[in-house]
């Protein structure tokens, strides 16, 4: 495309301060999100729940929900600052060119000659980068899991399970990253200036492949899927799927409770063969009719074509990213400013391009959240039209209480961060009439919060 070539020439300016630009983008985004966080923190200091929830939510639950929200907000500020410091130090001390040089030296020393090209070096570089990021993220990960979540009763992980999951995740990255990176780089190298077409097709194929193998080969490494036992719940869900002509193949229960008290329900699979997965915590904490109502909402996304549309949008987004990457892939000034004077590794160019893309991705995230909230309202309306409005509403309230989810939100914060409408908006759309406090099943210790809903359903 001629316009992309002209843009590439325009942006490749000697001595252009790319480092300062990328740091400026990153800091500006952090400050903007901090501003939104301050607005939300004021909401989290309110003493009374929204009027629509006054009858359903006790003062004790509301106070605990507000405290949980404030604790998460403080954590986000400090973890974000920690990430900013890392990013700035990585850039200022030229960590990327040093890591690239080390990767090449490692291959020259230990690998056969045929494994010393750019593709092999890129694989070692990325895997090393993943390990470094994993180590640097450990303090915030440990604090979030074993301090913040533990304090409010959500964490079910043991230190042993935490370490095991981390090892499995890294091993998975070491297995999957090399062939994916090799394919990515080979396409760029062999298809010339029009590589983004082929890269887009590769990405689409990879998505379909991962959707196919994830439940078969990856999910079982971390969780156990068991067929849902015979009974009223299974019968009702199968009838729901049959009425909607949903191609249900199997109903599973997942042991989410071994890591967290949060819960969810979702479906996966190819268009002609779908599987529904229900978290054990959702079954334990909800009535049968409420679980069916939640699944009516989820299948509403399928019936209304939301999943297909979101997949199509993701393909457009991928094409936009790869075509724009073609503008920066040979940008000498970008590589030079980051310390790559003699080599221009493709994978490094992609990482730097991703940082430049940050502001545009923020806008896309905002637009996607707007679309996602619209889809959530439509899925709620779908469940309502099937006669599940009362049970869906009560389920949402229960899950909100059990999860200690934010009962209210600043409109700017919600617009930027939330992919789902807040509970009060959903109840209003469902024509919910406040009656009395919702009874929540208790299977955990007294005072312990369990399961989640608003952010998942």
298 is known as an active-site residue: yes
The verdict on whether 455 is a catalytic residue reads no
Q: Which of 56, 149, 290, 298 is catalytic?
A: 298
**Whole-angstrom distance, CA of residue 457 vs CA of residue 212:** 23
Determine which one of 149, 337, 380, 389 is catalytic. Answer: 380
Q: Are 419 and 371 in contact (CB under 8 A)?
A: no
Active site residues: 298, 380
């Amino acid at each position: 495309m001629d316009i992309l070539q002209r843009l590439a020439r325009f942006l490749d300016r000697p001595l252009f301060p790319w480092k300062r630009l990328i740091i400026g983008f990153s800091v500006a985004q952090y400050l903007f999100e901090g501003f939104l966080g301050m607005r939300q923190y004021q909401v989290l200091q309110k003493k009374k729940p929204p009027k629509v929830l006054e009858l359903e939510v006790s003062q004790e639950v509301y106070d605990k929900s507000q405290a949980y929200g404030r604790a998460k907000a403080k954590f986000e500020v400090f973890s974000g600052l920690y990430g900013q410091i890392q990013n700035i130090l990585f850039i200022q001390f030229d960590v990327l060119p040093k890591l690239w040089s080390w990767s090449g030296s490692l291959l020259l020393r230990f690998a056969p000659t045929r494994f010393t090209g750019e593709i092999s070096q890129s694989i070692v570089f990325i895997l090393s980068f993943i390990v470094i990021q994993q180590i640097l993220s450990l303090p915030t990960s440990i604090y979030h899991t074993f301090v913040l979540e533990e304090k409010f009763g959500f964490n079910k992980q043991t230190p042993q399970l935490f370490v095991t999951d981390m090892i499995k995740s890294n091993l998975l990255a070491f297995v999957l990253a090399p062939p994916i990176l090799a394919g990515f780089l080979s396409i760029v190298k062999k298809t010339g200036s029009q590589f983004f077409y082929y890269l887009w097709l590769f990405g689409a194929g990879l998505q379909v492949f991962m959707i196919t193998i994830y439940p078969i080969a990856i999910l079982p490494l971390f969780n156990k899927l068991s067929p849902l036992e015979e009974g009223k719940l299974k019968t009702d869900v199968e009838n729901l799927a049959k009425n909607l002509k949903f191609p249900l193949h199997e109903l599973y229960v997942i042991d989410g409770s071994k890591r967290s008290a949060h819960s969810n329900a979702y479906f996966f699979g190819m268009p002609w063969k779908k599987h529904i997965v229900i978290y054990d915590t959702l079954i334990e904490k909800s009535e049968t009719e409420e679980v069916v109502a939640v699944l009516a909402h989820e299948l509403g996304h399928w019936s209304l074509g939301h999943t297909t549309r979101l997949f199509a949008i993701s393909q457009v987004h991928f094409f936009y990213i790869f075509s724009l990457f073609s503008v920066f892939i040979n940008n000498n000034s970008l590589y030079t400013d980051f310390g790559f004077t003699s080599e221009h590794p493709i994978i490094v160019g992609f990482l730097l391009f991703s940082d430049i893309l940050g502001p545009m991705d923020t806008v896309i995230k905002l637009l996607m959240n707007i679309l996602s909230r619209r889809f959530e309202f439509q899925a709620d309306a779908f469940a309502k039209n099937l006669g599940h409005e009362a049970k869906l509403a009560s389920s949402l309230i229960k899950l909100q209480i059990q999860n200690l989810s934010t009962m209210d939100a600043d409109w700017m914060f919600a617009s930027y961060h939330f992919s789902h409408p807040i509970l009060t908006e959903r109840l209003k759309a469902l024509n919910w009439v406040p009656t009395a406090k919702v009874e929540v099943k208790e299977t955990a210790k007294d005072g312990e919060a369990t399961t989640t809903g608003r952010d998942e359903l």
